[in-house]
A = this chain, B = another copy of it.
Amino acid sequence: MPTLAERLGYGAEDRVLILNCDDLGFCHSANVGVYEALRRGLGTSASLMVPCPWAAEAAAEYAGEDVGVHLTLTSEWASYRWGPVTASTSLVDRTGRFPRTVEEVWSHATIEEARRECRAQVELALEWGVDVTHLDAHMGTVQTNPVLFEVYLELAADHRLPLRLSGADTEEVLGFPFRQPAAERGVVFPDHFIYVPGVGSRSTLLELVPKLRPGVTEAYLHPAVDSPELRAAAPDWERRVDDHQLLVHDDDFRQLLERHRVRLTGFRELRDCMRAG
């Protein structure tokens, strides 16, 4: 059996890295940050938060880029909020917005409304002209819960899209298998996953890039440009600005990748490989 890297045209020993930009569409400053990361920086793909206020701008700007859907069932900030694209009573708090925490989603969402909402997010992105390349999960909400994972996997299989999956070492922690079930459905996913606690990927990447294993690894960042909007929306704004800096302006990071002969790829290659069978 060829490895995923081999199916993509790399050698079995090559270290292949996806640098995905999460939270596209979240706010205008994120749109600008991701735009620069993809077009002038090292970002290889991005994930669009379809229910967010600025998703329409992002979809118009990025229709030709390697953009997946960052399935979103939370609205985590206090001062800046968004809600579902479907009329769904189990997915919202008293203000008609998504809950702020993953735990609230897990305790209130019905599987039927979660499925309908996630499906609508993907369909809306396609309708907007986004050439959807993959699916992943904002705050892990639909990936790390065994019930919602069914929705996540089913959507990937139906649309023939690659998935972000947590690392094999987290299956025991999360308490259910997800990698084998995805493989059995013919869904392609990276071999390895670099988990970053919270937002701000610099220190994790600087430590782990030299230790990358052969095969395809996904890492994620949250690039955004500094602005009053970003500062007021996200208390972690400095780490988002630093992620933008790392992808767009950091020669040391670029050289680190080169020194370790890391090959960069996007999710589009994985999708095309999956669809080719």
Contact = CB atoms under 8 A, between A and B. Distances in A.
Interface stretch (A75-83, A172-180, A183-191): A75-83
Contacts of A53: 53, 80-82
A27 B229 CA distance: 9
A227 B85 CA distance: 27
Which interface class (under 10, 10 to 19, 20 to 34, 35 or more) fits A? 35 or more
Tell me if A's interface is mostly helix, strand, loop or mixed: loop
Given A54-B79, A78-B56, A82-B53, A28 B87 contact: no
Given A86-B96, A92-B87, A80 B28 contact: yes
30 contacts: A28-B228, A28-B229, A28-B232, A28-B233, A29-B229, A32-B228, A51-B96, A53-B53, A53-B80, A53-B81, A53-B82, A54-B79, A54-B80, A56-B79, A56-B80, A56-B81, A56-B95, A60-B78, A82-B82, A83-B83, A83-B96, A84-B96, A85-B96, A85-B97, A86-B96, A87-B87, A87-B88, A94-B127, A96-B120, A229-B229
Interface of A: 27-29, 32, 51, 53-57, 60, 78-89, 92, 94-97, 120, 124, 127, 227-229, 232-233
